[in-house]
Structures are given as C-alpha cells and as structure tokens.
Amino acid sequence: MPELRAIQIDESIKGRIAIVTGGAKGIGAGISRVLSSAGAHLVVADRDEPAAEKLAASLRATGAGATAISCDVGDTAAVTQAVKRIERVLGAVDLLVNNAGIGDFVSFPDISRERWDRMLNVHLTGAYNCCHAVMPDMLRRRFGRVVNVSSVAGKRGDFIGNAHYTAAKAGMIGLTKSLAAWAAPYDVRVNAIAPGIVDTELTREMSKPHQATTISRIPLGRFAQPDEIASVVLFLLSDASSYVIGETINVNGGSYLD
C-alpha cells in the first residue's frame, strides 16, 4: 500500500513499461503523451504503423523512451508475438491501456454479420488478446495495471442503434469486472473508463445533425479533448487509485450519470 501522504502520481508511473493500443491517434495519442510526460517508457501499439512511428519519434524528441509497434489488436497471434518482442527488448510490461477502436455509425438494420464481427473483434477480442498476452506475467510478478477504454455507449446504449459498438463496449465493462476480481489479490489492478464524446477522427465521422443532437445532451455543452480522458487513465494507472478495483469511471461531461 502506498504511504498515506500526498501521492506523487508521476513517481508511480516513472520508468514503467506501458503499452497503449491505438496509441498513435486521438484519445490514445493523448494517453501516450500524458504517460510519457509522467516518465513511462511508451509502447505505441497501433495498426497504423507510420502514425505510431511518428508519435513515438515525437516522444523520443522530448528525451523520453518510446517504441512504436505495428499490431492489429484483433489478431491473436500478432498480439502474442508483439508482446513477446516487447518483453525481450524492453522487459516486463507494467501498464496496459486497451484503447484501440473503430467507429461505425449505422443503425441496427445496417449491421451486417461482417460489421458485427469486425466491431467485436477490434474492441472486445482486442482487449481479451492483450490482457491474455500480458496479465499472466503481471500476476507472476505481482504488479500490473490495466485500463480498458469502454464508452458511455456501453453503459447507456446509443440513440441511433449502433448496437454492435454498444455491445462491444458493454462487454469490455464485464471483462474489466471479471479480470479485476481475479487479479486484485496479486496487486494487479484492472479498471475501465467510459468516455462521452471526444473530439477525434472517430467522432468526426458522425453526421452534423448527430453531432448537434449529441452536444445538446451534454450539460457541459461541448465534446471532450483527448487530454481530458488521458488524465483519468493516468489516475487509474497510478498509486493514487490504489483502492479502485473493477470500476468503470464516467468521463462524459455529465451526459450520463449512474
């Protein structure tokens, strides 16, 4: 247990090996930057290799340690291989953020089986793949922190009926609770966040009327910026949240309260 004093968040992140999936752009890039400035060695794991390399290079330019890795989180063999490579080159993984994701703003009748499978594969199977590759070693070492990026949609559902996204995000909340209860006795903590709408490429795919309706339902009256999500992830990965287990924290400007 950390000492009962003002906990230095950065002290508990400094020198840690951190994987952020989908870490090259949007919320993931915000998380990568915040963790890097707190002193972690960042592994930017993204299927967009040039973007991952560009972000890692920008972190290295600040003097931080950062590595880019090209990986599709939905590909079990590729994730296993990537984690083995990281462990061989950098050492054991301390922090994992399952953030990689895609948008697909369609109504239920338009969700073909192919779209359904793709959505569940990236979000839910992706989180499973990364946890499965990383967590057994965390339990052996009796140290690890995992944050799953779910969504307000996973708690509340979505107004336009894109049920594949909401089902995948709700699944990530269940995955978080189960893994959290299993891992907590080994000082491995698993939590999640449920962001509302964040200003990224993913939400720029929403139609203008859909964006306007969504903003009208947010008491804060605006979308979030990636760094406002990243700071909550930093809290969950740090010792400042040492007694928080299996929680899914809303970061939604008041758009959904539970």
Binding site for ligand NAD (CB under 6 A): 21-22, 24-28, 46-48, 51, 71-74, 99-102, 122, 126, 149, 151, 195, 197-198, 200-203
Query: Within 13 Å of residue 191, how many CA atoms lie on the same side as its CB?
Result: 22
Rounded to a whole number of angstroms, the minimum distance from the CB of residue 97 to ligand NAD is 10
Q: Residue 71 or residue 236: which is nearer to ligand NAD going by CB?
A: 71
Rounded to a whole number of angstroms, the minimum distance from the CB of residue 71 to ligand NAD is 6
- Residue for token pair 């930057």: 33
Nearest to 19 by CA among 100, 77, 102, 120: 100
Rounded to a whole number of angstroms, the minimum distance from the CB of residue 39 to ligand NAD is 23
Phi and psi (nearest 5°) for 10?
-60, -35
Q: Write the DSSP string, 99-135.
A: ---------GGG--HHHHHHHHIIIIIHHHHHHHHHH
Tokens of 229: 């999500």
Q: Residue 75 or residue 187: which is nearer to ligand NAD going by CB?
A: 75
Q: Residue 101 or residue 144: which is nearer to ligand NAD going by CB?
A: 101
Rounded to a whole number of angstroms, the minimum distance from the CB of residue 182 to ligand NAD is 23
- Residue for token pair 């508990």: 12
Q: Residue 51 or residue 135: which is nearer to ligand NAD going by CB?
A: 51
Q: Write the DSSP string, 13-58.
A: HTT-EEEEETTTSHHHHHHHHHHHHTT-EEEEEES-HHHHHHHHHH
Question: Catalytic residue numbers?
Answer: 165
Q: Could you tell me whether strands 66-70 and 41-46 are parallel, antiparallel, or unpaired per DSSP bridges?
A: parallel
Query: Within 13 Å of residue 167, how many CA atoms lie on the same side as its CB?
Result: 15
Q: Residue 122 or residue 135: which is nearer to ligand NAD going by CB?
A: 122
Rounded to a whole number of angstroms, the minimum distance from the CB of residue 112 to ligand NAD is 18
Nearest to 96 by CA among 34, 210, 17: 17
CA distance 244 to 191: 8
